[in-house]
Chains A and B, each alone.
Chain A
Amino acid sequence: MSRKPHRHGRDFTRRTVTAGLGAGVLAGLAPFNIVRAQGAALKVGVLLPRSGVQAGIGQDCQRGVDIAAGILKELGMPALQIMNGDTETNVDVARSRAEKLISDGAQILVGAFDSGQSTAIAQVAEQKGIPYVINIAAAPQITEQGYKFVFRNFPTAGMILSDAFANQKEVFEAAGSAPKTAVFMHVNDTFGTAMKGGIGTVMPKFNMPYSLVETIAYDPAARDLSVEVAKAKATGADALLMVSRLNDAILLTRELVKQRWSPMAILSMGPGWYEDQYLKTLGKLSDGPLSFVPWYDPNKPMSKTLEAALAKTHPDLNLNTNHVYTFEALLIAADAYKRAGSADPKALADGIRGTNITNNVSPGPGIQFNEKGQNDKLKLSAIQNRGGKLVTVAPKVAANAKVEWPLKPYDKRG
């Protein structure tokens, strides 16, 4: 009986050849990948609520993505390969879509308009070590977690409130009168709750001329807001202080008309009241509300470029927060990629941390991030709906119109 001699080492089989070839190819490609990334388009996963309750705003943000490519090219920025993700206005879906985009090769994430959804995406981005630039989300806690890969070029709830109250006082001064009482109505989502929490601490510092006589929280997905408006009307308050979304802003306006209540002013500190869909759906009933929001500086050259780009593709739309801050998020990504010279996540994150963009759109000195990843230099504007258009009424340095005061009663609009 003969035995095959024992061979030291591994057998040389087809599997060995395949494994060896695979390893060789990978080893050969590894440095090439880095080199290639410098010339290749940066894969940007853009997460937005493209369906669900916030679909209107999500799609409006997408317009900011659509107009970005041409402008970034003119600025000499590297190309971006956009990978779209729909959060379906749902926090859990936002989380799973972020994971999917990363597994599909996204090298940076951008989005997602909503604080709750952005919080979920931030957790995924930090866990996976992929940079995430928030376009719109105001809940302060997102940039208070010590995250290394999360950046926000949008004011926090506290910043919004501080600037909003300062701008309100300027508006009241220009109008020569001010409300004495107000009802605070807010959506009960992450953003609305953060704003409600902030009001209690920020408002007393500004010595506002009005006091809050009632606070009414409601579901942003509510189909009917008649009860909410009835409750607000019953207080007899002079003004409505709002933190809302788009659909509910439309519903609220309809109820104000139907319940024959025209307050002295509608002071919004969130989205909804200035959106094009609001203006188009309500026509002349959309005139008058004042929004104290992150806006754009109409005097900056980049604002004019963005306005022109939007007018070219969407001549019937006004440039707004959704377009501006989504565009700026992509500008930040492209700028960081250009400076980092690599799509390596850590290099990209370091690149974003070192951002200093002065040729931008949003009000303030430009885009820089503090150690928490927050742009704390942003400023807000006060804008008013006027005949389907939006004018800036405060602060004076960025204003292009005087405030119309008080709100014209709904039953006297013909």
Chain B
Amino acid sequence: MTWIVLDLNEEIVTGAEKPYRVIYTVSDASGIDRELFVYFAEDGRYSNVAVSEDLWQYPTSRDEARRTDKQFFRTNKLTVDFAHRDIAREFETFTRGRLDFVTRDWSDQSSIDFGGNTTEVLSTES
């Protein structure tokens, strides 16, 4: 079974230009990496909730992404600020949907057995 524990923290930063702060943390997971938030390696900017291909391709630290010449890296935490509450709410809804999608998609992909040694006898005799 594949699951994640997702913590959402909403904060209002008084006086800030974008006062509505959304903090997501994948605090626990089973059957899938906790590092589900993808960032640009070049400038550390947030990119997206991982898709399954990201889990295969991108490392879980920026240093490793730079060392291996990868464009992205992954972490388990995301902080984004918004100017308006409704935009923040839309972002939350979308992000939860993407996390749900990647959890299910990864579970589907990883449940397909692949690997190990098999010996089969093929013959013209049926």
A, B co-complexed: no
Please give the residue numbers on chain B whose beta carbons come within 8 Å of chain A beta carbons, in ascending order: none
